[in-house]
Amino acid sequence: MFKADGSFLLTYRDISQTRRIDRMRSDFVANASHELRTPLASLRGFIETLEGPAKNDTKAQQKFFGIMHEQVTRMSRLVDDLLSLSRLELKSHIAPEDSVDLVPLLGHVRDSLQPLASDLDVTISLDVPEEPVFVQGDRDELIEVFENLIENACKYGQEGKKVDVRLTGKGGQAEATVSDYGPGIPAEHVPRITERFYRVNVEASRSKKGTGLGLAIVKHILTRHRARLLIHSEVGKGTVFTVRF
Neighbouring residues of 219: CB distance < 8 A, sequence distance ≥ 6: 194, 229
pLDDT (0 to 100) of residue 167: 95
Interatomic CA distance for residues 199 and 210, integer angstroms: 9
pLDDT (0 to 100) of residue 19: 65
In the three-class reduction of DSSP (H, G, I as helix; E, B as strand; rest coil), residue 110 is classed as helix
Neighbouring residues of 153: CB distance < 8 A, sequence distance ≥ 6: 163, 178, 179, 180, 182, 239, 241
For Cα atoms 204, 199, 179, give the angle at the middle one, nearest 5 degrees.
80
> Cα–Cα distances in Å, from 220 out to 54, 142, 208?
46, 11, 23
First to last CA, the chain: 51
CA 93 to mean position of chain CA atoms: 20
Q: In what order do the strands lie in the sheet with 173-180?
A: 123-127, 162-170, 173-180, 238-244, 228-234
pTM of this structure: 0.70
pLDDT (0 to 100) of residue 214: 85
pLDDT (0 to 100) of residue 95: 84
- What are the pLDDT tens digits along the chain (245 aa)? 555 566 666 676 767 666 655 565 565 666 666 677 777 888 888 888 888 887 777 887 888 888 888 888 888 878 887 888 888 877 878 888 889 999 999 999 999 999 999 999 999 999 999 999 999 999 999 999 999 999 999 999 888 899 999 999 877 789 999 999 999 988 888 888 888 777 776 665 555 666 778 898 999 999 999 999 999 998 989 999 999 99
